[in-house]
């Protein structure tokens, strides 16, 4: 959840922080959170929702890696070509991140509902 601060800063919902430093933090937090979720999840073959959330998390991380490559190919700056490629990439990455977030929240809700 902490890695979303970069997205909030980029869209001017918050004004504090360097976008470059926050992007680096976003990347590290996403990797760290992904590893923690994989360790937390363990192996439960009978639960579909956690598996769907895990798959979407992996797709989201893969999409983030593609975005990092596209940004690096564009020189790391918002040139016309880099900006166009990044805008096309965001069309995919944002919905993937949203689906992952919804599945993760649903997973947490179901755990809280069925906790004994």
* 48 neighbors 56 (Cβ within 8 angstroms): no
How far is CA 12 from its chain centroid?
18
Q: What would the DSSP string read from start to end of 55-105?
A: HHHHHHHHHHHHHHHHHHHTTTS--HHHHHHHHHHHHHHHHHHHHHHHHHH
Domain ranges in the chain are: 1-42, 51-116
The pLDDT of residue 79 is: 62
The pLDDT of residue 92 is: 92
The pLDDT of residue 63 is: 93
Mean pLDDT, contiguous 10-residue spans, the chain (116 residues): 80 86 88 84 73 87 91 70 82 91 87 84
The pLDDT of residue 43 is: 65
The values of phi and psi at residue 101, to 5°, are: -60, -40
How far is CA 38 from its chain centroid?
14
Residue with tokens 């929240």: 105
């Amino acid at each position: 959840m902490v890695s979303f601060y970069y997205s909030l800063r980029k869209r001017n919902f918050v004004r504090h922080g360097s976008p470059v430093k926050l992007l680096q933090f976003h990347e590290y937090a996403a990797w760290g959170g992904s590893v923690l979720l994989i360790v937390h999840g363990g192996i439960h073959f009978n639960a579909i929702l956690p598996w769907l959330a895990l798959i979407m998390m992996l797709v989201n991380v893969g999409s983030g890696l593609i975005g990092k490559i596209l940004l690096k190919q564009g020189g790391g700056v918002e040139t016309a070509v880099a900006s166009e490629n990044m805008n096309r990439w965001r069309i995919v990455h944002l919905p993937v991140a949203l689906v992952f977030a919804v599945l993760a929240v649903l997973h947490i809700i179901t755990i809280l509902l069925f906790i004994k």
